[in-house]
Structure 1
Amino acid sequence: MVKARNLLNGCIAGGLALLLAGCGERAPVNLLEKAQAPCPQVGVISDAADLTRFRAGGGSDLTALVVNAQVSGFQAKCDYTSRRDGLVVTLTPDFSAERGPAAAGPSLDIPYMVAVVDDSDRVLSRAEYSLRVNFPPNVAKVKSTGEELSITLTGGVAEAARRRVLVGFVLSPEELAANRRRGPR
């Protein structure tokens, strides 16, 4: 019994030694190389999530409606910058749009924006884009995807992760006031 136990202990010790020796032969692993980058908060500006645009001079009657659109969501992913001193946010916004009776053709250009704000809601950067929405014959409502955007946030990873990336429509003062009166949909 003692011989069997000594033999078993010897096998375990030998196997453990081989495992440890095998570990020492490998090159050191860079854990940061495979680390998941933190993402800043990405969201939709509630006051600019909807766009209800009427024909100029037509009032707010349904017959003067050009387009009714919503920011319906987004896809976002984050990675480190090449020097690992900031973050790169890749953002693709999604929209839905309904063509109104006053629309002048089968396609519309809808302006939207992406802003980066700090933790005090101060706008650090803002860029405007245009989404071309095409309506097939006899189709009034479509879903569209904006272009894939790459936003670089500098100033260190921790600071970049505290920022927020926000998507919304570019609105006139009247459209913004209407959204605030109506509230979120």
Structure 2
Amino acid sequence: MLVTLLTGCEGEDTTHTFAPACPKFDVPSPLADLITYDGKGLDAAHRLTSTHILAVQGDCRTGPKDEQKRPLTRVRLSLNLQLERGPAAKGDTVTIPYFVAILQDGQIVDKKIFTETVKLTPSLSVMQANTPLRFIDIPTGNNPQISPYSMEIGFQLNHDELTYNRTHLRAAQFQEHVQ
């Protein structure tokens, strides 16, 4: 009778796998704010919108295999944003360009650029929104419990916007939220 019970499990996979480790997320302070103006000045009266990255939520799962059949880690992430309508705002939407840079040993090995259009609530001057969940597959590495990568996330700014942020804004207080 014991032999019959043990042979019944023969074809079943009894291994348990854990989700691979997530890379560390960082939002560099100069890239955490996107302030747009109407082109007539850089004072409060000419501000269209201010958008701020408040948090990055994410988790990691076992992803597909790459072309060489190596394991990938699927990173799922979303940005929590605060949007402020400025005095010069006329439209009811704001387009937000942002990026996710994948780094290994401090060097950028890939960069994904996304654009979101967010509808502003007419009755609110300040609101929060979340970007859709994004999926980014990265190599798992030799030890799935330690990610060999990190990610930097921020707004895709032009040179003038980056200079403005560096000289006018205080440092953002980014909090990483990885599950």
Quickly name the TM-score band, shorter chain normalised: 0.7 to 0.9
Q: Is the 8 A contact 1:114 1:127 kept in 2?
A: yes
Q: Does 1:184 align with 2:166?
A: no
Please state if 1:51 is matched with 2:34: yes
- What do the CA deviations read for 1:49-79 (whole angstroms, capped 9, x no partner)? 11122122x2211111011111111221111
Alpha-carbon distance, 1:156 to partner: 2.7
Change (3 A) 1:174 1:69: same
| Structure 1 segments (4+ residues) deviating >3 Å | 22-33, 157-160
Q: Which moved more, 1:129-138 or 1:61-70?
A: 129-138
Q: CA deviation at 1:32?
A: 5.4
Q: Are 1:100 and 2:86 an aligned pair?
A: yes
- For residues 31 and 179 of structure 1, do their structure 2 counterparts lie closer, same or farther at Cα, with a shift above 3 Å needed? farther
Structure with greater strand percent: 2
Task: Decide whether the 8 Å contact of 1:53 with 1:68 is kept in 2.
Answer: yes
Residues 116-172 of structure 1: CA deviation (Å, up to 9, x unaligned): 1112x2111112212222222221111111121110102635488121122211112
Counterparts of 1:30 and 1:42 in 2: how far apart (Å)?
A: 34
Q: What is the total number of aligned residue pairs between the two structures? A: 166
Tell me, yes or no, if structure 1 residue 137 matches structure 2 residue 126: no
Q: Which has the larger radius of gyration?
A: 1
Q: Which runs of 5+ in 1 are unaligned?
A: 1-21
Q: Which amino acid letter does the alignment assign opposite residue 169 of structure 1?
A: F
TM-score scaled by length of structure 2: 0.78
**Root-mean-square deviation over aligned CA pairs:** 2.8
Looking at structure 1, the residues matched to 151 and 6 of structure 2 have their Cα atoms a distance apart, in angstroms, of: 43
Query: Please, which runs of 5 or more residues in structure 2 have no aligned partner?
Result: 173-179
Counterparts of residues 27-106 of structure 1 (less than 5 Å) = 27=10, 33-56=16-39, 58-83=40-65, 85-106=71-92
- More helix by percentage: 1
Question: Partner residue of 1:112?
Answer: 98
Query: Within 2, Cα distance between the matches of 1:127 and 1:103?
Result: 29
Q: Structure 1 length as normaliser, TM-score?
A: 0.76
**C-alpha contact 1:50 1:70 (8 A) present in aligned 2:** yes
CA distance in 2, matches of 1:113, 1:145: 15
Equivalent residues of 1:106, 1:134 under 8 A apart: yes
Q: Given that residues 51 and 70 in structure 1 are in contact (C-alpha distance below 8 angstroms), is that contact kept between their aligned partners in structure 2?
A: yes
Deviation at 1:45, TM superposition (A): 2.5
Identity %: 23
1:162 corresponds to which of 148, 168, 178: 148
Residues 63/78 of structure 1: CA separation in 2 closer, same or farther (3 Å cut): same
Q: Report the alpha carbon displacement of residue 43 of structure 1 after superposing the two structures with TM.
A: 2.5
